[in-house]
Structure 1
């Protein structure tokens, strides 16, 4: 207990690290950047229990003594993850108020209305991939497909003008990059706020049928939303709305490219694309570890596990999704035919991801379109050369180079 496992900020071996944490127990101490210690929860049942426990909060301003005492500086690499004022960090009634303001943008009707737009963007990207392949021979499916699709969808949903997109992308990447220095982290944080302030100003001048305009209106009328909450809510939706889907697409594509049997089954209709999506979410959670929650009281959790009041808690989704207690001896096997694909990739309880249906829709439209357009596609490098994004939060590859085999 005195020697926590130090998380690798570069995320080089997320699943191997998850095994090492699990070996220390259902709840084990890990060390985050800056020497901050937290309890990593790898047991899925225990994690679900904590995610719905009223004695567990996401509000560092109320429930993390180190943060309240000013011991967590603004240049701490994970500062934004705990300092923002939006539904991600809100607790109790505040969380319900903020979630209610965002929920209208993610209703089943609004999500379904995006189907034709997602299909159109997918078709455009496939044409661009084909053109790139004819010119260069090899295309990077993360850069040319998995990344641009979600960011274009969420940018249109949010009403982000095109000129702000490159800066937003860079900043969102930085938020998830746990290998940044304190100086780089703070510079990224300040630039993100500058861009979001510009977005709000633009939509005040040019309101439209988009989520930013919907949120600006109540903020301007003084209805339940401060300016800080408005900016931080946009930060949450834009970042969460694309990074997780990028990784979902990336991991599903990579899984099928390295498993010809499963690929043949789905293309023959023996396995559904929904099965591929759910098993991809289970097998490689798009978010490996999600910081942070805090115990609002001493927690006695059985099996000798005691989390003290104020202790930080890390939701370790990648490990919990491969919990042998849930998935048995095949927990580490990618198997779209498994009857139980239970996972917590989108969280659980009150903070379950509002955008989960949109992410699933994007994947269930984009994946079949890609594999049906390029049935002879193959990896251009060994799987060991795909690398990892520099993060223990974001679980994706650095690149997915392929030949399209047209």
Structure 2
């Protein structure tokens, strides 16, 4: 790896957009240092990233294509190991990826997703009722804790049949996976707890199958073990129950805060001048819910348009937040939240064969939840100065630790 500068990514994720600006100034790709001193090429240029995400010379299989892992330079104590050690569609390439994706993709077809609309509406109404109760005294409520977070968690847990009494533990381990400030020891302990939870879920559903995706995956494995081995089953559940809600939580988080801090644009939406789809897509572009996504690997040497060479076996980090604000695609106003922007294209859900299959579900949840929130509480406002909103301690998750707000009365 050769480059003029190496950017050490802030594990606290305090200013991913300034990091993105610095990375874009490096050209097509810039060298970064991940926790543990692990190097990678971060791609912040939107056009370059889009090409690489569809390039067959780019793999997501670290066992086959990441030299550092194959040579033993990535140890069991690497804090981000869970992101590359799992065996599911997230870390596979070619035929293996197609095989694993096919097992889950049928649950996320447009028809299947739309069939979840009544349930999402029911969950949303329940959360709004609870919000109204907790904010009745006029005291601030936390919109992340009481709305943006529980909605996607409830949806994904129902989809996969996670019992109510295990959801708090699942939330804790998922939060820790995305917390890039944890120590190696904490990360290892969390991984152990995560696997215990998932194996327990598989055991329960094997003994007591139900109408949920976990039971469906177990049935698929029992009918033909070549489609899904035991480790792949558990790791697929880990993928779906972790990444399955994080994007939506942060989408709702930033959509709400964007509208509350841009009241003129909120008013335009409520007048019908802009759609809720405009809000969702501009939020995804402006504040990618996952700023960086580890990792991809060069199957062979790859020459980028500016002459940068990503050598065979080197790691590639997709810088989604930076790509969303690339002035080359969105002009001088790329850093602004602007619902009137004609081109709202983004890479927040990825691109190519690894495009997030949960994207339609995330969009549907937001399309139901956002208008319902602002219809129920037309006087909704932040309870603190926007500058006081703290970000979650992570460069892999882009959200706030809390969104204190005053409901301002009902409709």
TM over 0.5: yes
2:129 matched to which residue of 1? Answer: 127
State the 1:135 CA deviation. 4.6
State the 1:74 CA deviation. 2.1
Q: Is the 8 A contact 2:138 2:407 kept in 1?
A: no
Per-residue displacement from partner, 1:185-212 (whole Å, max 9, x unpaired)?
A: 1001110000000110111111111110
State the 1:101 CA deviation. 0.4
2:266 matched to which residue of 1? Answer: 263
1:165 matched to which residue of 2? Answer: 167
1:29 matched to which residue of 2? Answer: 31
Unmatched 5+ residue regions in structure 1? none
1:14 matched to which residue of 2? Answer: 16
State the distance in 2 between where 1:64 and 1:48 align: 21
Residue 341 of structure 1 aligns to a residue whose secondary structure is coil
State the 1:136 CA deviation. 6.7
State the distance in 2 between where 1:73 and 1:288 align: 25
Residue 90 of structure 2 aligns to a residue whose secondary structure is coil
Tell me which of 79, 101, 106 is aligned to 2:81.
79
Residue 402 of structure 1 aligns to a residue whose secondary structure is strand
State the 1:180 CA deviation. 0.5
State the distance in 1 between where 2:137 and 2:246 align: 28
1:110 matched to which residue of 2? Answer: 112
Per-residue displacement from partner, 1:290-335 (whole Å, max 9, x unpaired)?
A: 0000001011112121111111000000001111111011111111
Aligned: 1:248 with 2:257? no
Q: Is the 8 A contact 2:28 2:48 kept in 1?
A: yes
Alignment map for 1:220-259 (pairs within 5 Å): 220-221=222-223, 222-259=225-262
1:336 matched to which residue of 2? Answer: 339
State the 1:134 CA deviation. 2.0
Residue 309 of structure 1 aligns to a residue whose secondary structure is coil
State the distance in 2 between where 1:171 and 1:183 align: 14
Q: Is the 8 A contact 2:88 2:239 kept in 1?
A: yes
Residue 290 of structure 1 aligns to a residue whose secondary structure is strand
State the distance in 1 between where 2:388 and 2:335 align: 21
Please identify runs of 4+ aligned residues in structure 1 that moved more than 4 A: none
1:215 matched to which residue of 2? Answer: 217
State the 1:23 CA deviation. 1.6
Aligned: 1:349 with 2:352? yes
1:388 matched to which residue of 2? Answer: 391
State the 1:2 CA deviation. 5.4
State the 1:70 CA deviation. 2.1
Q: Is the 8 A contact 2:138 2:408 kept in 1?
A: no
2:405 matched to which residue of 1? Answer: 402
State the distance in 2 between where 1:161 and 1:105 align: 19
State the 1:141 CA deviation. 0.3
Residue 88 of structure 1 aligns to a residue whose secondary structure is helix
Alignment map for 1:296-311 (pairs within 5 Å): 296-311=299-314
Alignment map for 1:118-197 (pairs within 5 Å): 118-135=120-137, 137-197=139-199
Aligned: 1:314 with 2:312? no
Over aligned residue pairs, what C-alpha RMSD do you find?
0.9
Per-residue displacement from partner, 1:232-252 (whole Å, max 9, x unpaired)?
A: 000101111111100000000
Aligned: 1:326 with 2:329? yes
Residue 134 of structure 1 aligns to a residue whose secondary structure is coil
1:359 matched to which residue of 2? Answer: 362
Tell me which of 32, 57, 60 is aligned to 2:59.
57
Per-residue displacement from partner, 1:234-287 (whole Å, max 9, x unpaired)?
A: 010111111110000000000000001001001111110000000000000001
Tell me which of 276, 281, 284 is aligned to 2:279.
276
State the distance in 2 between where 1:73 and 1:42 align: 27
State the distance in 2 between where 1:128 and 1:73 align: 45
State the 1:398 CA deviation. 1.0
State the distance in 2 between where 1:223 and 1:91 align: 17
Unmatched 5+ residue regions in structure 2? none
User: In the superposition, relative to structure 1, how do residues 260 and 207 fare at CA in structure 2: closer, same or farther (>3 Å)?
Assistant: same
State the 1:3 CA deviation. 3.9
State the 1:37 CA deviation. 0.6
State the distance in 1 between where 2:93 and 2:299 align: 11
State the distance in 1 between where 2:303 and 2:266 align: 45
TM-score with structure 1 length normalisation? Answer: 0.99
